[in-house]
Chains A and B, each alone.
Chain A
């Protein structure tokens, strides 16, 4: 699947523990996905990590990467979502 501007937002929600960032970024590195920005915080008692990634150089298609991230999230006990960045732009800006 092609992606309009090649950008996606990955959100990770769950209980904080050692190795979440390493686990997720390992999947991205293996897929040759560049991380453009990252924010990590505790929001409403939840560990919350938000990444903006560039998929242009990715060697996986969007849906395969989405599946791998989800599977890694399950191993780590966190919920991982990847969505095209357009969703957020569209919802909050005109």
Chain B
């Protein structure tokens, strides 16, 4: 077989197969835009400036994304925008309701043709400013009355500890948001992420925002590729786990290279700096595009069986090792995602009784990003939801990693029921929750102090 310049026909066909058969794609290109210079003493004026700046800066995002995808033959599934946490943008207005800003973001996103815009956010791990308070006041209404706006709240960090007052309140807000969107299965909650150690440059929704340390404008890329890794693992049923890790590293390298190439090209054409590649394996409901199925291909009867945490640890670490070599700048969340509703293997694992909420929590200790897109009964008490968030934040705080919770208490649904969100958000079986009450602990409020950083065993 002749070599065509520097690559072989096998290599060319491997690339084509990855895209056409195994769902290799760039999951998202996310344009981060600072809105700090839009903050004014008048909410109306702030809204006007925010709209103008977003529509000007992101005017060409979708067109350029499509151009690059066509030229390289690599699909770019989503084009998105992340903005400065709105708590900081809305604060100088002195208003206690920032819903108008959420509606402005929604209109701007629609105008430039992106499906999600992230940053209706507050960073409250130590406490609240007036702007943070205004975000909390506005959250349920903002999520219920907008389509494309994503919200996030950082409630804990390894250096600051956990803000249990904020966590207690979020339990209530999540319930209220579910009620306001009850006719759509509580979908408002699918657009709200509660973080510990939130990254400032995460390109993935719903948790993307443009952090305080970011430049004026930046392009971040989120890669994908569970289908490609799954195919590679299935081709090697006899490999021992060390060899399997190497196979996954090789695959992750190739997938990440595509993210690096696309990111550099899109940012050059937009004239904005290239930020990072986020090395996450992000599943979708497409056939074979599943992280759970990778774990099963490693050798588990079902995701959730004993051994799942170990298999996921291997997978997550191998993806990072392969990806880190392939990109000059790695950031964001970078790890395997295990959202329940967006992964057919995860859905099957819950439905068959193999995967419980407790096991899901254990899995989040070794991968990114946390308890994601899972449904619980609508009558789950607010204190239980707060306690689920607290447990997850504690895992992140102690282990020096990002964790997050995106929980949907589906009004009127019981364990075993199914809820359909449609589109990218998928469908979720309602999971059983341990309802022994944590209410007295949640009522105490206050802060859980930051953990000691030495004596690390």
Contact = CB atoms under 8 A, between A and B. Distances in A.
Interface of A: 1, 3, 7, 9, 11, 13, 36-37, 39, 41, 43, 48, 50, 52, 62-63, 66, 81-94
Interface in B108-158: none
Interface of B: 1-2, 4-7, 9, 11-13, 15-16, 67, 70-74, 254, 257-258, 260-261, 325-326
B323 to A, nearest CB: 13
Nearest to A43: B13
A9 B120 CA distance: 43
B2 A39 contact: yes
Given A62-B71, A87-B258, A90-B257, A37 B11 contact: no
A52 B15 CA distance: 15
Among A9, A39, A92, residue most surrounded by chain B Cβ atoms (within 10 Å) = A92
The SS class assigned to the B binding surface is: helix
B299 to A, nearest CB: 26
Given A87-B72, A87-B74, A93 B12 contact: no
B328 to A, nearest CB: 11
A90 B261 contact: yes
A9 B11 CA distance: 12
Nearest to A88: B7
Contact of A11 (B16, B71, B74, B325): B16
Contacts of A90: 257-258, 260-261
A33 to B, nearest CB: 16
B6 A89 contact: yes
A7 B11 CA distance: 17
B12 A11 contact: yes
Nearest to A87: B72
Contacts of B325: 94
* A-B pairs with lowest CB-CB distance, top 5: A83-B73, A90-B261, A92-B11, A88-B7, A87-B72
B72 A83 contact: yes
